[in-house]
Amino acid sequence: MREDTRTRIQEIALRLFTEQGYEATSLREIAEELGVTKAALYYHFKTKDDIVASLADLRVAEVEEVLAWARSQPRTLEARREIVTRYAEALRRPRYLEVARFMERNQTALRDHPKLLRLRDTMLELVNELSDPDDPLAVRIAHSMALFALHAGKWMPQEESVSEEEINAASLEVALRLLEP
């Protein structure tokens, strides 16, 4: 039950932060939307910053999971393909797009947030696993773009004739092409 309440707080806060902005949303509004007192909310999160930190921690954990696997593998084309495939699977997890939109819409307010800086650093570590240090610059850029191609598909305007699965598959196809020698 406790974890359900915590998850529900995160969901409501994420929606309000995205719709209204991080700075314009109060803990009182989150508590009201949840239907609890501020004291009940404080049991789970003392500040808005604590909520943001918990959301960032979820994303960092997803990336670190892929990163740990990548570090255990030789730097081969097959391993690089698997890294990108595993990262694509992580992006399909339920809250990815909502967290990404929240971060994009609140960049100024969250620019120096330590947990979001950690997320950026973890992503850079994952990017580094896709190339050898002595690869030409163009190859390293292409390999890093493989991960970002997966993100780009999430920001495509939704066409009624194209499903999310088709967008995911096309994004993965493009990402894997960027790894080719």
Give residue-wise pLDDT tens across range 141-166.
999 999 999 988 877 766 678 888 89
Domain that includes residue 141, residue range:
55-177
> Does the CA dihedral 67-68-73-74 come out positive or negative?
positive
Task: Tell me how many domains the chain contains.
Answer: 1
Q: Whole-number mean pLDDT of the chain?
A: 90
Half-sphere exposure of 115 (CA within 13 A, CB side): 15
Query: Tokens 């994420």 sit at which residue?
Result: 14
Q: What is d(CA 98, CA 13) in angstroms, rounded to the nearest whole number?
A: 11
Does 1 have pLDDT greater than 60? no
Mean pLDDT, range 23-49, rounded to an integer = 92
pLDDT single digits (tens) 86-144: 999 988 887 777 887 788 888 888 888 888 889 889 999 999 999 999 999 999 999 99
Q: What is d(CA 140, CA 144) in angstroms, rounded to the nearest whole number?
A: 6
Least confidently predicted of 12-21, 25-34, 56-65, 106-115? 106-115
Instruction: For residue 153, tell me if it sits in a domain.
Output: yes
Instruction: For residue 19, tell me if it sits in a domain.
Output: no
Query: Tokens 């690869």 sit at which residue?
Result: 135
pLDDT tier at 2 (50, 70, 90 boundaries)?
A: low
Instruction: For residue 152, tell me if it sits in a domain.
Output: yes
Q: What is d(CA 140, CA 30) in angstroms, rounded to the nearest whole number?
A: 43
Instruction: For residue 173, tell me if it sits in a domain.
Output: yes
Instruction: For residue 32, tell me if it sits in a domain.
Output: no
Instruction: For residue 44, tell me if it sits in a domain.
Output: no
Instruction: For residue 148, tell me if it sits in a domain.
Output: yes
pTM: predicted TM-score of the whole model, two decimal places: 0.82
Q: What is d(CA 90, CA 59) in angstroms, rounded to the nearest whole number?
A: 9
Instruction: For residue 35, tell me if it sits in a domain.
Output: no
Query: Tokens 């790894």 sit at which residue?
Result: 179
The percent of residues above 90 in pLDDT, for the chain, comes to 60
Q: Is 77 exposed, middle or buried (0-12, 13-18, 19+ CB in 10 A)?
A: exposed
Structure tokens at 2: 């406790």
